[in-house]
Structure 1
Amino acid sequence: MDKYIISIVGPTGIGKTSLSIKLATYFKTEIISADSRQFYKEIPIGTAAPSNEEQKAITHHFIHNKSILDKYSVGDFEREAIECITTIHKHNPIVVLVGGSGLYVQAVLEGLDDFPEVSANIRTQLNTEFKTNGIQGLQKELKSLDPIAYETIALDNPHRVIRALEICRATGKAYSSFLNKEKKKRNFKTIQIGLTAERSLVYERINRRVDLMIAQGLVDEVKSVLEYKQLNALNTVGYKEVFRYLEGHCSLDFAIEEIKKNSRRFAKRQVTWFKRQEETKWYDHSTPIEEILAYINKML
């Protein structure tokens, strides 16, 4: 029997977790999380990880399996996820993959792209420019050299911006031109489901989710990891803004509005990334599960 991955993608707050649990329950299988922040056990609130009840209902992998102190790359995730999928496929032909981190989803389904070697001097220079002048200048350069990367990567993450720019400077070519060159051969087939909604509704759901995180204790969670704020694992929406509040740079109300604004921007980039995959079957977030199952069973 053929092996399958049912991959669920879409912007933050759209309902991917709920759909993944319904599908995993129907197919009596397990879930692989491809969310690059839900790995970390210290930050469950701000990463909107599945609840304890959801994790008890269905076996989840790659949720709270790492510490923010661990060094963990997308390459590490690709290797471990493929090993996990291979193990599950020994007793179930279907595995559900869910997450909003496009690069991590791509790593599982297609493998990572090969990039040319970059001189350490270029990286050092970019890091010096970032520390001296901030990220705005680097963002402006990236927009000029690679508009596609500018629209799809996390612009508020200096590691991602510097990584893209170092490729541009080293090769004279756009970082995005090295993406999606050659897919790795996988021993499974993929059925990709995308969830979508009107932009105004997506933004409304994001705003509600942020308010819920605050009510659940996000500020205390961020306070508990304040001494580690320089780590890349914490260089993400929801943490950077509260770090600024805790250090007295802004009010809590302003920080909350910044989280909402930056989450909306992140959602826009997610949609741009996932829309590039033409094989994705898109559904409105309110589509009955029966309709989605009918399509999946047809593909199977």
Structure 2
Amino acid sequence: MPNTAHDLPSSVVDDPRADHRPRAIAVMGPTASGKTDFAADWAQRLGTDVISVDSALVYRRLDIGSAKPDAATLARAPHRLIDLREPHEPYSAADFARDALREMQDLAAQGRIPLLVGGTGLYFKALLEGLSDLPESDPGMREALQRELEERGLPALHAELQRVDPVAGARIQPGDTQRTLRSLEVFRLSGVPISEWQARSRGPRAPFPFRVLKLVLAPPDRAVLHERIARRFHAMLSAGFLDEVRALKADPRLHADLPSMRAVGYRQAWQHLDGATDAATFVEQGIAATRHLAKRQLTWLRGEHDALWFDPSASRGGLDRMVRGFLGSRA
């Protein structure tokens, strides 16, 4: 069961005198749960920056559909690790872990509290727990695989993955272009299946260099979250989301199978603009896909046993007290 404000994990109640690591705060939660507003308030109060933990916000020109913070929010709470890449450029969880730790150390060196905010579980895991030491991506190999994808098709490449790595082939869905290509790339570069790389023990990992308070913002009533998701999706459409995707489609470097274009909302908008769905179906599919994303995020968050859960609308006072208690005189 998730921790509540009265059920504190050891990471919070341990005697701070026994842990001299600098402190950081991680604000987690499903999409549309109110993370950005809460984090912006505390970033302004602490005089610090937000470190975005969101796999869509790293891309330039993905603004409306990714719910990227607007200019007013960025003015009072500067965000790091947004707008890092063009939509056709790769950016991995390992890239994020390296970049986020660098930003955390930079803030700590200035005497400021790193404030990690987002809903991409893989990014949080890569940063706080580490990932397998997989071979680094090779641009030449990626280009070759992309050509094969266009010539042979994804089903043939997935069938090849099933032959060379049955474990990964069974785990990775046939329609998952990104993971299929990455798994084949690892095998071709190293001769070792990606499943074997992932199973190898890395030995004891050094403690993470920060003492992190994990806060999960999530309405206990799923219907409340669903209503927030629907309202935000309609607001995105009113703000020009489809025009944003039209402009992206006009870029010859982009296609529907890129990780950026497979982000929730963007995939459905691309298909709609290709004529695959009518307007009503597009809206229905976009909202349903966002709800499914929130469900996956909540499933991952329930495995974070040292995180504290709060209802963002009913427990703001408790959230603020928790942060102040964790930071002590710093708050």
Normalized against structure 1, the TM-score is what? Answer: 0.81
- Counterpart CA distance in 1 for 2:93 and 2:276 is 33
C-alpha displacement of 1:4: 1.3
Q: Give the counterpart of 1:69 among 70, 84, 88.
A: 88
Which position in structure 1 is the counterpart of 2:308?
281
Aligned AA (1:281): L
Q: Is the 8 A contact 1:8 1:193 kept in 2?
A: yes
After superposition, residues 181-196 of structure 1 pair within 5 angstroms as 183-196=205-218
Aligned AA (1:221): E
Which position in structure 2 is the counterpart of 1:14?
33
CA offsets per residue over residues 203-246 of structure 1, 9 Å max, x none?
11111111111100011000001144423221221111111121
C-alpha displacement of 1:108: 2.2
Aligned AA (1:238): G
Task: Provide the aligned length of Structure 1 versus Structure 2.
Answer: 291
Q: Give the counterpart of 1:215 among 238, 257, 264.
A: 238
Q: Is the 8 A contact 2:132 2:197 kept in 1?
A: no
Aligned AA (1:246): L
Q: Is the 8 A contact 1:195 1:282 kept in 2?
A: yes
**Structure 1 residues 292, 205: closer, same or farther in 2, change over 3 A?**
same
Which position in structure 1 is the counterpart of 2:322?
295
Which position in structure 1 is the counterpart of 2:65?
46
**Structure 1 residues 76, 285: closer, same or farther in 2, change over 3 A?**
same
- Counterpart CA distance in 1 for 2:155 and 2:23 is 48
Which position in structure 2 is the counterpart of 1:100?
119
- Structure 2: where are the runs of 5+ without partners? 1-19, 161-165, 187-191
C-alpha displacement of 1:156: 6.8
Q: Give the counterpart of 2:268 among 227, 236, 241.
A: 241
**Structure 1 residues 177, 208: closer, same or farther in 2, change over 3 A?**
farther
- Structure 1: where are the runs of 5+ without partners? 139-143
- Counterpart CA distance in 2 for 1:204 and 1:72 is 32
Q: What is the SS of the residue equivalent to 2:90?
A: coil
C-alpha displacement of 1:194: 0.3
Q: What is the SS of the residue equivalent to 1:299?
A: helix
Q: Is the 8 A contact 2:50 2:77 kept in 1?
A: yes
Q: What is the SS of the residue equivalent to 1:8?
A: strand
Q: What is the SS of the residue equivalent to 1:225?
A: helix
Aligned AA (1:29): T
Aligned AA (2:29): G
More displaced, 226-235 or 278-287?
Answer: 226-235
Q: Is the 8 A contact 1:29 1:92 kept in 2?
A: no
Q: Give the counterpart of 1:28 among 20, 37, 47.
A: 47
C-alpha displacement of 1:176: 8.2
If you compute each CA radius of gyration, which structure gives the higher value, 1 or 2?
Answer: 2
After superposition, residues 134-173 of structure 1 pair within 5 angstroms as 157-160=176-179
Q: What is the SS of the residue equivalent to 2:66?
A: coil
Q: What is the SS of the residue equivalent to 2:47?
A: coil
Q: Is the 8 A contact 2:88 2:254 kept in 1?
A: no
Aligned AA (1:291): G
